[in-house]
Amino acid sequence: MGLTLDSGALIAIERGDRVVLTLLREALAVGASLALPSTVLAQVFRDPARQARLSRFLSACDHEPVPFDDVVARAVGRLLAARGTSDVVDAAVVLCARVRDHAVVTSDPADLAALDPELPVIVV
């Protein structure tokens, strides 16, 4: 049981979106794991002084940093080739969620569905 966060989830955290913050708080309260692909963090994180809410969340929550190593890079490339798409971050999110049997917290379900139509998503 767990959640993989995509860029939309991190942006919602930074904006103080109550729905997302409540979802994450409740998930952590029941022992769900959170996964954050490093590619997602790179896509969103720019300035800790301007992104104080996101910085606090990253420091306080028990999330699992998911590196973008050689194995993941090759799997991402194969998935992109198989689906005829090109978004490396979305593919990394899909693979991260698949491996962990997670749902993805996202604001862009269509792009993820193009890579894996069966992937469970929570739209924020």
pLDDT tens across the length of the chain (124 residues): 899 999 999 999 999 999 999 999 999 999 999 999 999 999 999 998 899 999 999 887 777 789 999 999 999 999 999 999 999 999 999 999 999 999 999 999 999 999 999 999 999 9
- Looking at residue 46, its pLDDT comes to 93
Sequential DSSP letters for 15-61:
HT-HHHHHHHHHHHHTT-EEEEEHHHHHHH---TTT-HHHHHHHHHS
CA pair distance 71, 29, nearest whole angstrom: 32
pLDDT confidence of residue 15: 95
Inter-residue contact 22 to 1 (CB < 8 Å)? no
Hey, what CATH class is 2-123 in?
A: alpha beta
The residue assigned the tokens 């198989």 is: 82
What is the residue extent of each domain of the chain?
2-123
Considering the entire predicted model, what is its pTM?
0.94
